[in-house]
Amino acid sequence: MRFIKIFMFLFVLAFALGIVAFAGLYNYIRPQLPSVEALRDVKLQQPMRVYSADGELMAEFGEKRRIPVQLNEVPKQLIDAFLAIEDTRYFEHSGIDPKGILRAVFVAASSGNTSQGASTITQQLARNITDIGNERSLERKVKEVFLAFDIEKFLSKEEILALYLNTIFMGQRSYGIGAAAYTYFGKSLDQLTLSEMAMLAGLPKAPSDYNPINSIERATDRRNIVLRRMLEEGFITETEFQQARAEPIVAKYHQADIAFSSPYITEAARQEMYRRYGEEAYTGGFKVYTTITKRLQLAAEQSLRDNVLSYDMRHGYRGPVATLWDANSTSFDQNEVIKALKTTVRLADFIPAAVLEVSNKENQATLLLSDGTTQTLKFKGVKWARKFINDNSQSPAPRKIGDVIHVGEQIWVRYYNHELWLTQEPAVNSALVSLDSNTGEIQALVGGFDFNQSKFNRATQALRQIGSNIKPFFYAAVMDKGLTLSTVFNDAPITSWNSGSAKSWSPKNSPATYDGPIRLRQALGQSKNVVMVRAVRAIGVDAAADFLERFGFPAANIDRTEAMSLGSPSFTPMQVARGYAVFANGGFLIEPYFITRVLDYDGDIVFEAKPKVACMNCNIPVIYGQSEQLAALSLDNVENASESTRTDSQGRPLTEEEIEFISSENQSGGYAPRVISGQLAFLMRDVLNSNVFGEPGWNGTGWRAGKVLAPRKDIGGKTGTTNSSKDAWFSGYGANVVTSVWVGFDDNRRALGRGTAWPGDPSQISGGEAGAKTAQPAWNNYMKVALEGIEEQKISPPPGIISVKIDKYTGQLSNGGSSRSEYFIKGTEPKTYYVEEVGTEIINEESGQTEELF
């Protein structure tokens, strides 16, 4: 009895000392522990998602893939699987499980089986969502235990379990069971089989080792352990165990459910979100909605790619991607070849292939594709492939397939008109941007042939000389100074001499034909270079350059020389499209944008675009040049001031329209600044229409658009080609859609050259590359889709525009004969009639014949 009493005393003393020590350690450690009070409102890290305007997922950015789920959305068997393998006494303990620890130690010591972990689900949660670290140390373990106690006191068992299932790392960047189910099986939780549930439950212990994508054997073994534990705990029957154990695991990596990918625009969205929110952009669960629609974006990408490939085929075949084996001396290993093909960076709809056999007798080749299948490539698919010599020269057309491809070569192929064709990575590149001219909403944007080829966004970053695409802006400048569409200039060669230098400048028309005196309308429609130079001379280089800035073009990019009139300045396709929008929308300088709204983690709107818009029929004055004075006035000053003090900084009384404009500027949305008058914008829109449809006696340089988009008449545009054909452009409008297309080489050194017609497209004539041939086809094909379903826009002349009948050759008033109706801003119309010269007759005394003096 004495011994028992001593033992009991020591036991009670030890227990008391243990409690005191535990309490003391807890009080010492507790201040170092993170607070658990915020766990009930914890925001699970989620990636940023970028959507189209029609709500389709375009991209996902962020290291952690997560699909949060409610506990009532989780199948019971999936919960049972996690409890069986991770914490069978979860609903019985208070954060730590002494019995579980002892059982795990006993099992490990007796059998070496470490499948039963000692950490409870609550302890794992404490480790996963706090910053106590993952190092193997006694201090970290003690902190984990204390945190587990705190969590159990603050949250219910259901709340803890839901947090755990949503935060546990499951491999392949997936956090939580919702993301893991989709990543490995492409399924939602309610679609999982028992076998798949067991596999997921087995992942947290070692996501890399038990990952079925990395090792199906280890994943299967781990799944079977989970199933055995479920059977032992009575969660499943023997029959369910056997059936699930016999089921093969079929898993592969499933990316986010992307409806369509447009990486140039989604990358721009990512950069903008990072600029606004930093690293939180990738974890805050933001939903970014863009202005892009699937229909128009895919049409833009297809139009650009088809056009680039057409150019590339006109310029010959540059040879295979690589030679995988020497057909004359080395046999090939099919598995190694397929591996090489699969590791090739994918481009557009290209398919990497290896040439297995070439039969000149049958004029076809057998190819091994990257998916392991074999296909036949017929001679028709390589007939275009003249050997590339340079951009101006190719070898004669091939006569047999062996003239083009050879056994052992790695090549690209694609399907064209449902048949396999040889193709190649294009050397040339392109960009397309399309805007709503009234709002600035970007409806489509393509920054290059393929994002995998180059991430450089040519639509917004490439500064390229714009050639004749610049001419409409200078024609607007000269008409703003009083010239008209009927003003006649001499279409004849020019030579300019630099003062103090022996160098001369002799701009030439392209083609080099000269028609003598012609009206400005025809000069723009036929893109007469020398007339453009003469027109800019008429108002002065500085006045023309200043006017160019009205359209949003940076002053730093404008060289103030006569050469600028022919397109020597360099701008981006986005800037060019914005400039053309001024003509289409009645004179307003809109601001392009591509994000309509941003939603945060809770679904609240944290950003919403409120664009300043054009209003073609509104009586808004031109205020360009007064922007600094108007900006100095606040809305409160204007609204609260008396009539006598509503003036600009120079003391000039403000008009009602200006006050309305100031008010809209200081509010969300409102009107964009009007930089040219509605009358001038109407004239420019009308003359750009002539560039497409011409008039009797001549065609405009953009005439192909009229054929493709017939029967529409509300379209207009302008070609553009720079010196040596290094850049080709087409920019224009249809209804309220403005689109600009550029084609050129990235190195800016190579000319586009002269193409050779290829048999796949008889409409592609041979000859020099230029805006109408090289860039306009992409514009035509895209606009055909973009304008589908949009009613043809009828624009009536605005107040201040009159129509007068003029003589087509002199631009003077006409009573008949060779005349046409022309629009004028009232007061600028011609005042005199054309008088036909009557020749004076004389009689030759020697011959007696009558001759005309004139």
CB-CB contact of 676 with 476 (8 Å): yes
Active-site residue list: 86, 468
Query: Which residue is associated with the tokens 């200039």?
Result: 489
Query: E strands, 514-658, where?
Result: 516-519, 570-571, 595-599, 605-608
CB-CB contact of 478 with 539 (8 Å): yes
**Interatomic CA distance for residues 643 and 313, integer angstroms:** 68
**Interatomic CA distance for residues 853 and 845, integer angstroms:** 15
CB-CB contact of 152 with 95 (8 Å): yes
Of the CA atoms within 13 Å of residue 239, those in its CB half-sphere come to: 0
Eight-state DSSP code of residue 726 = -
* Ramachandran class of 527: left when φ > 0, alpha when ψ lies in -120 to 50, beta otherwise: left
**Interatomic CA distance for residues 666 and 676, integer angstroms:** 21
755 CB neighbour count, 10 Å cutoff: 24
CB-CB contact of 745 with 428 (8 Å): yes
Pairing of strands 374-378, 364-369: antiparallel
Burial of 126 (0-12, 13-18, 19+ CB in 10 A): buried
Q: What is the 3-state secondary structure (H, E, C) of 576-645?
A: HHHHHHHHHCCCECCCCECEEEEECCCCCEEEECCCCECCCCCCCCCCCCCHHHHHCCCHHHHHHCCHHH
Structure tokens at 652: 């000039």
* Ramachandran class of 794: left when φ > 0, alpha when ψ lies in -120 to 50, beta otherwise: beta
State the DSSP H helix or E strand holding residue 294, giving kind and residue range, or none if neither: helix 294-314
- Cβ neighbors of 673 (< 8 A, separation 6 or more) are 588, 589, 612, 623, 624, 627, 661
324 CB neighbour count, 10 Å cutoff: 21
Query: Which residue is associated with the tokens 């409690």?
Result: 19
Query: E strands, 471-539, where?
Result: 488-491, 496-497, 504-505, 516-519
**Interatomic CA distance for residues 258 and 124, integer angstroms:** 33
At residue 209, the 3 state secondary structure works out as: coil
Structure tokens at 215: 């090792």
- Cite the DSSP H helix spans in 729-809: 776-786
Q: Residue 817 corresponds to which amino acid? A: G
Q: Cα 545 vs. chain centroid, distance in angstroms? A: 32
**Interatomic CA distance for residues 291 and 50, integer angstroms:** 11
CB-CB contact of 189 with 78 (8 Å): yes
Q: Helices H, strands E: what count in the chain?
A: 25, 30
Q: Residue 529 corresponds to which amino acid? A: N
**Interatomic CA distance for residues 7 and 454, integer angstroms:** 79
In sequence order, the β-bridge partners of residue 369 are 353
Eight-state DSSP code of residue 169 = B
